[in-house]
Structure 1
Amino acid sequence: MKNVLLLFTFLCSSFLIAQEGTNMKKAITPPEEVRLAFEKEYPGKVPVWSEEYVGDDADEIRFEARYNVNNTTKAVAIYDNLGNMKAFELQIAFRDLPVQAQSYLKKNYKAKAILEIAKVVDDKNKTTYEVGVTKDAKFYDVVFDKDGGFDVSIEKN
Protein backbone atom coordinates (compact mmCIF):
# COMPACT_ATOMS: atom_id res chain seq x y z
CA MET A 1 0.00 0.00 0.00
CA LYS A 2 2.89 2.31 0.83
CA ASN A 3 4.38 1.69 -2.62
CA VAL A 4 1.06 2.45 -4.34
CA LEU A 5 0.77 5.75 -2.48
CA LEU A 6 4.36 6.61 -3.34
CA LEU A 7 3.77 5.77 -7.02
CA PHE A 8 0.59 7.88 -7.12
CA THR A 9 2.40 10.85 -5.54
CA PHE A 10 5.26 10.46 -7.99
CA LEU A 11 2.89 10.30 -10.96
CA CYS A 12 1.01 13.41 -9.89
CA SER A 13 4.16 15.43 -9.31
CA SER A 14 5.70 14.15 -12.55
CA PHE A 15 2.55 15.13 -14.42
CA LEU A 16 2.81 18.66 -13.09
CA ILE A 17 6.52 18.94 -13.85
CA ALA A 18 6.06 17.48 -17.33
CA GLN A 19 3.20 19.84 -18.04
CA GLU A 20 5.27 22.83 -17.01
CA GLY A 21 8.25 21.68 -19.06
CA THR A 22 6.48 20.54 -22.22
CA ASN A 23 3.90 23.28 -22.44
CA MET A 24 5.90 26.47 -22.46
CA LYS A 25 3.19 28.25 -24.39
CA LYS A 26 2.66 31.95 -24.06
CA ALA A 27 -0.40 32.82 -21.97
CA ILE A 28 -3.00 34.66 -24.05
CA THR A 29 -6.49 36.10 -23.77
CA PRO A 30 -8.91 34.10 -25.93
CA PRO A 31 -11.79 35.53 -27.95
CA GLU A 32 -14.89 36.39 -25.93
CA GLU A 33 -16.89 33.45 -27.37
CA VAL A 34 -14.24 31.04 -26.13
CA ARG A 35 -13.93 32.65 -22.70
CA LEU A 36 -17.72 32.69 -22.21
CA ALA A 37 -18.05 29.04 -23.26
CA PHE A 38 -15.44 28.06 -20.67
CA GLU A 39 -17.03 30.15 -17.91
CA LYS A 40 -20.44 28.61 -18.64
CA GLU A 41 -19.05 25.07 -18.52
CA TYR A 42 -16.67 25.55 -15.57
CA PRO A 43 -17.95 28.39 -13.39
CA GLY A 44 -15.48 29.62 -10.81
CA LYS A 45 -12.47 27.92 -12.39
CA VAL A 46 -9.49 30.11 -13.25
CA PRO A 47 -7.79 28.97 -16.47
CA VAL A 48 -4.44 29.76 -17.98
CA TRP A 49 -5.06 30.18 -21.69
CA SER A 50 -2.76 29.29 -24.57
CA GLU A 51 -3.26 28.79 -28.28
CA GLU A 52 -2.10 26.14 -30.67
CA TYR A 53 -2.34 25.82 -34.41
CA VAL A 54 -3.48 22.41 -35.64
CA GLY A 55 -4.59 20.75 -38.86
CA ASP A 56 -2.69 19.56 -41.90
CA ASP A 57 -1.37 23.02 -42.67
CA ALA A 58 -1.57 24.32 -39.10
CA ASP A 59 -4.40 26.51 -40.33
CA GLU A 60 -6.85 25.87 -37.47
CA ILE A 61 -6.47 27.52 -34.10
CA ARG A 62 -7.30 25.88 -30.78
CA PHE A 63 -7.52 27.62 -27.42
CA GLU A 64 -6.45 25.58 -24.41
CA ALA A 65 -7.72 26.38 -20.92
CA ARG A 66 -5.53 24.71 -18.27
CA TYR A 67 -6.98 24.75 -14.80
CA ASN A 68 -7.05 22.94 -11.46
CA VAL A 69 -10.04 20.71 -10.87
CA ASN A 70 -8.95 20.46 -7.23
CA ASN A 71 -5.67 20.57 -5.29
CA THR A 72 -4.34 17.38 -6.88
CA THR A 73 -6.00 17.17 -10.29
CA LYS A 74 -5.47 19.26 -13.41
CA ALA A 75 -7.54 19.48 -16.58
CA VAL A 76 -7.43 21.03 -20.04
CA ALA A 77 -10.46 22.15 -22.02
CA ILE A 78 -9.77 22.78 -25.71
CA TYR A 79 -11.96 25.05 -27.84
CA ASP A 80 -12.08 26.24 -31.43
CA ASN A 81 -12.22 29.96 -32.20
CA LEU A 82 -16.05 29.95 -32.03
CA GLY A 83 -16.17 28.58 -28.49
CA ASN A 84 -17.03 24.99 -29.44
CA MET A 85 -15.34 22.47 -27.16
CA LYS A 86 -13.10 20.17 -29.18
CA ALA A 87 -11.69 18.04 -26.35
CA PHE A 88 -11.42 17.70 -22.61
CA GLU A 89 -8.38 16.16 -20.90
CA LEU A 90 -8.45 15.12 -17.24
CA GLN A 91 -5.44 13.97 -15.23
CA ILE A 92 -6.09 10.54 -13.71
CA ALA A 93 -4.24 8.01 -11.59
CA PHE A 94 -2.79 4.77 -12.94
CA ARG A 95 -5.47 2.78 -11.10
CA ASP A 96 -8.14 4.67 -13.08
CA LEU A 97 -6.90 3.30 -16.40
CA PRO A 98 -8.75 0.31 -17.84
CA VAL A 99 -7.15 -2.97 -16.66
CA GLN A 100 -6.00 -3.86 -20.18
CA ALA A 101 -4.05 -0.58 -20.45
CA GLN A 102 -2.52 -1.12 -17.00
CA SER A 103 -1.34 -4.58 -18.05
CA TYR A 104 0.18 -3.27 -21.27
CA LEU A 105 2.07 -0.51 -19.44
CA LYS A 106 3.35 -2.85 -16.71
CA LYS A 107 4.61 -5.26 -19.38
CA ASN A 108 6.29 -2.64 -21.59
CA TYR A 109 7.44 0.18 -19.28
CA LYS A 110 9.02 0.61 -15.88
CA ALA A 111 6.79 2.39 -13.35
CA LYS A 112 9.17 5.35 -13.19
CA ALA A 113 8.91 5.77 -16.98
CA ILE A 114 5.24 6.78 -16.68
CA LEU A 115 5.13 10.57 -16.33
CA GLU A 116 1.51 11.56 -16.93
CA ILE A 117 -1.86 9.91 -17.46
CA ALA A 118 -4.97 11.52 -18.86
CA LYS A 119 -8.47 10.59 -19.92
CA VAL A 120 -9.42 12.46 -23.10
CA VAL A 121 -12.94 12.96 -24.43
CA ASP A 122 -13.26 14.62 -27.84
CA ASP A 123 -16.12 16.60 -29.38
CA LYS A 124 -17.63 13.38 -30.79
CA ASN A 125 -17.72 11.92 -27.24
CA LYS A 126 -14.93 9.45 -28.09
CA THR A 127 -12.90 8.52 -25.02
CA THR A 128 -9.21 7.63 -25.15
CA TYR A 129 -6.46 7.41 -22.57
CA GLU A 130 -3.10 9.07 -23.15
CA VAL A 131 -0.09 8.05 -21.11
CA GLY A 132 3.13 10.04 -21.33
CA VAL A 133 6.16 7.78 -20.96
CA THR A 134 9.90 7.92 -21.47
CA LYS A 135 11.89 5.18 -23.10
CA ASP A 136 15.46 5.35 -24.39
CA ALA A 137 15.63 9.07 -23.49
CA LYS A 138 12.61 9.85 -25.70
CA PHE A 139 9.11 10.97 -24.70
CA TYR A 140 6.07 9.15 -26.09
CA ASP A 141 2.31 9.48 -25.82
CA VAL A 142 0.93 5.96 -25.62
CA VAL A 143 -2.74 6.04 -26.57
CA PHE A 144 -5.37 3.48 -25.56
CA ASP A 145 -8.99 3.17 -26.63
CA LYS A 146 -11.92 3.46 -24.20
CA ASP A 147 -11.57 -0.21 -23.22
CA GLY A 148 -7.81 -0.01 -22.65
CA GLY A 149 -6.75 -1.56 -25.93
CA PHE A 150 -3.45 -0.24 -27.29
CA ASP A 151 -4.00 2.20 -30.16
CA VAL A 152 -0.75 3.98 -31.00
CA SER A 153 2.51 5.30 -29.59
CA ILE A 154 3.52 8.78 -30.76
CA GLU A 155 7.00 10.19 -30.24
CA LYS A 156 6.93 13.79 -29.00
CA ASN A 157 9.68 16.35 -29.26
Structure 2
Amino acid sequence: MDSDKRFVNSKDINFDEITNLALMHWEEFEHLIRELFEKEFSNNGGQVKVTQASRDGGVDAIAFDPDPIRGGKIVIQAKRYTNTVGVAAVRDLYGTVMNEGANKGILVTTSDYGPDSYEFAKGKPITLLNGGNLLHLLEKHGTKARINIKEAKRILNDSIENNKTSS
Protein backbone atom coordinates (compact mmCIF):
# COMPACT_ATOMS: atom_id res chain seq x y z
CA MET A 1 0.00 0.00 0.00
CA ASP A 2 2.88 2.42 0.74
CA SER A 3 4.29 2.18 -2.79
CA ASP A 4 1.44 4.17 -4.38
CA LYS A 5 3.03 7.42 -5.64
CA ARG A 6 -0.23 9.35 -5.09
CA PHE A 7 0.12 9.20 -1.31
CA VAL A 8 1.25 12.30 0.56
CA ASN A 9 2.08 12.93 4.19
CA SER A 10 -0.97 13.53 6.28
CA LYS A 11 -1.57 16.74 8.20
CA ASP A 12 -3.26 17.06 11.54
CA ILE A 13 -6.24 19.37 11.22
CA ASN A 14 -7.21 21.55 14.17
CA PHE A 15 -10.85 22.48 14.56
CA ASP A 16 -13.46 22.62 17.29
CA GLU A 17 -17.20 22.68 17.83
CA ILE A 18 -17.50 26.23 16.50
CA THR A 19 -15.75 25.41 13.20
CA ASN A 20 -18.25 25.21 10.35
CA LEU A 21 -16.99 22.24 8.31
CA ALA A 22 -18.83 23.58 5.25
CA LEU A 23 -16.43 26.56 5.28
CA MET A 24 -13.25 24.57 5.83
CA HIS A 25 -10.63 24.74 3.04
CA TRP A 26 -11.20 21.74 0.74
CA GLU A 27 -7.68 20.38 1.29
CA GLU A 28 -8.04 20.57 5.08
CA PHE A 29 -11.43 18.86 4.74
CA GLU A 30 -9.80 15.96 2.84
CA HIS A 31 -7.19 15.57 5.60
CA LEU A 32 -9.93 15.73 8.25
CA ILE A 33 -11.76 12.89 6.50
CA ARG A 34 -8.53 10.87 6.34
CA GLU A 35 -7.98 11.45 10.08
CA LEU A 36 -11.55 10.39 10.83
CA PHE A 37 -11.34 7.18 8.83
CA GLU A 38 -7.93 6.43 10.28
CA LYS A 39 -9.60 6.44 13.71
CA GLU A 40 -12.46 4.34 12.36
CA PHE A 41 -10.24 1.67 10.79
CA SER A 42 -7.25 1.64 13.16
CA ASN A 43 -9.16 -0.28 15.85
CA ASN A 44 -8.70 -3.49 13.87
CA GLY A 45 -5.31 -2.78 12.30
CA GLY A 46 -6.49 -0.87 9.22
CA GLN A 47 -4.61 2.01 7.65
CA VAL A 48 -5.68 5.09 5.74
CA LYS A 49 -3.56 7.09 3.31
CA VAL A 50 -4.37 10.47 1.81
CA THR A 51 -3.56 11.17 -1.84
CA GLN A 52 -2.07 14.26 -3.47
CA ALA A 53 -4.46 17.05 -4.37
CA SER A 54 -4.12 16.78 -8.15
CA ARG A 55 -3.97 13.77 -10.46
CA ASP A 56 -5.36 11.59 -7.66
CA GLY A 57 -7.63 9.62 -10.01
CA GLY A 58 -10.75 10.68 -8.09
CA VAL A 59 -9.38 9.30 -4.83
CA ASP A 60 -8.95 11.50 -1.74
CA ALA A 61 -7.94 8.67 0.56
CA ILE A 62 -7.57 4.91 0.49
CA ALA A 63 -8.28 2.72 3.47
CA PHE A 64 -7.16 -0.84 3.84
CA ASP A 65 -9.23 -2.87 6.25
CA PRO A 66 -7.59 -6.23 7.08
CA ASP A 67 -10.90 -7.79 8.18
CA PRO A 68 -11.21 -10.95 6.04
CA ILE A 69 -15.00 -10.68 5.75
CA ARG A 70 -15.88 -7.00 5.29
CA GLY A 71 -12.43 -5.57 4.68
CA GLY A 72 -10.20 -4.88 1.72
CA LYS A 73 -9.34 -1.74 -0.21
CA ILE A 74 -11.76 1.14 0.30
CA VAL A 75 -11.70 4.29 -1.82
CA ILE A 76 -12.77 7.45 0.05
CA GLN A 77 -13.90 10.62 -1.69
CA ALA A 78 -14.59 13.84 0.28
CA LYS A 79 -16.91 16.59 -0.99
CA ARG A 80 -17.05 19.78 1.06
CA TYR A 81 -20.21 21.04 -0.63
CA THR A 82 -22.91 23.54 0.26
CA ASN A 83 -25.22 22.17 -2.46
CA THR A 84 -26.70 18.71 -2.96
CA VAL A 85 -24.21 16.20 -4.32
CA GLY A 86 -25.41 15.09 -7.73
CA VAL A 87 -25.50 11.58 -9.13
CA ALA A 88 -22.46 12.33 -11.35
CA ALA A 89 -20.19 12.34 -8.27
CA VAL A 90 -21.59 8.98 -7.19
CA ARG A 91 -21.11 7.54 -10.70
CA ASP A 92 -17.54 8.85 -10.71
CA LEU A 93 -16.86 7.17 -7.38
CA TYR A 94 -18.29 3.88 -8.65
CA GLY A 95 -16.03 4.07 -11.71
CA THR A 96 -13.06 4.80 -9.47
CA VAL A 97 -13.90 1.83 -7.21
CA MET A 98 -13.95 -0.43 -10.28
CA ASN A 99 -10.78 1.12 -11.75
CA GLU A 100 -8.88 0.79 -8.43
CA GLY A 101 -10.01 -2.79 -7.91
CA ALA A 102 -11.40 -1.71 -4.55
CA ASN A 103 -13.99 -3.58 -2.50
CA LYS A 104 -15.95 -0.46 -1.64
CA GLY A 105 -16.27 3.29 -2.06
CA ILE A 106 -17.28 5.85 0.55
CA LEU A 107 -18.45 9.32 -0.45
CA VAL A 108 -18.50 11.85 2.39
CA THR A 109 -20.05 15.30 2.13
CA THR A 110 -20.92 18.22 4.35
CA SER A 111 -24.29 18.53 2.56
CA ASP A 112 -26.59 15.75 1.32
CA TYR A 113 -27.34 13.65 -1.75
CA GLY A 114 -30.24 13.85 -4.14
CA PRO A 115 -32.66 10.97 -4.71
CA ASP A 116 -30.83 10.02 -7.95
CA SER A 117 -27.62 9.55 -5.98
CA TYR A 118 -29.23 7.23 -3.43
CA GLU A 119 -30.98 5.32 -6.22
CA PHE A 120 -27.73 4.84 -8.19
CA ALA A 121 -25.84 3.65 -5.08
CA LYS A 122 -28.45 0.95 -4.28
CA GLY A 123 -27.00 -2.53 -4.65
CA LYS A 124 -23.50 -1.18 -5.34
CA PRO A 125 -20.50 -1.28 -3.00
CA ILE A 126 -20.93 2.42 -2.23
CA THR A 127 -21.68 4.14 1.07
CA LEU A 128 -23.01 7.71 1.01
CA LEU A 129 -22.34 9.68 4.20
CA ASN A 130 -24.10 13.05 4.42
CA GLY A 131 -23.35 15.93 6.78
CA GLY A 132 -25.40 14.42 9.60
CA ASN A 133 -23.59 11.07 9.25
CA LEU A 134 -20.26 12.90 9.23
CA LEU A 135 -21.03 14.79 12.46
CA HIS A 136 -22.18 11.52 14.08
CA LEU A 137 -18.97 9.74 13.04
CA LEU A 138 -16.83 12.62 14.35
CA GLU A 139 -18.70 12.52 17.66
CA LYS A 140 -18.25 8.73 17.86
CA HIS A 141 -14.49 9.40 17.82
CA GLY A 142 -14.66 12.14 20.45
CA THR A 143 -14.77 15.25 18.27
CA LYS A 144 -17.55 17.79 18.11
CA ALA A 145 -18.01 19.93 15.03
CA ARG A 146 -20.83 21.64 13.23
CA ILE A 147 -22.12 22.07 9.69
CA ASN A 148 -24.22 25.10 8.84
CA ILE A 149 -24.92 25.16 5.10
CA LYS A 150 -26.95 28.42 5.19
CA GLU A 151 -24.15 30.25 6.99
CA ALA A 152 -21.55 28.84 4.57
CA LYS A 153 -23.58 29.89 1.51
CA ARG A 154 -24.06 33.40 2.93
CA ILE A 155 -20.36 33.84 3.73
CA LEU A 156 -19.25 32.40 0.38
CA ASN A 157 -21.73 34.62 -1.50
CA ASP A 158 -20.58 37.69 0.46
CA SER A 159 -16.98 36.82 -0.41
CA ILE A 160 -17.82 36.55 -4.12
CA GLU A 161 -19.67 39.88 -4.01
CA ASN A 162 -16.74 41.57 -2.24
CA ASN A 163 -14.31 40.23 -4.84
CA LYS A 164 -16.50 41.58 -7.67
CA THR A 165 -16.64 45.07 -6.13
CA SER A 166 -12.92 45.22 -5.36
CA SER A 167 -11.72 44.25 -8.85
Q: Which TM-score band applies after superposition, normalised by the shorter structure?
A: 0.3 to 0.5
**TM-score, normalization by structure 2:** 0.31
Bigger strand fraction: 1
Q: What's the TM-score once normalised by structure 1's chain length?
A: 0.33
Higher helix share: 2
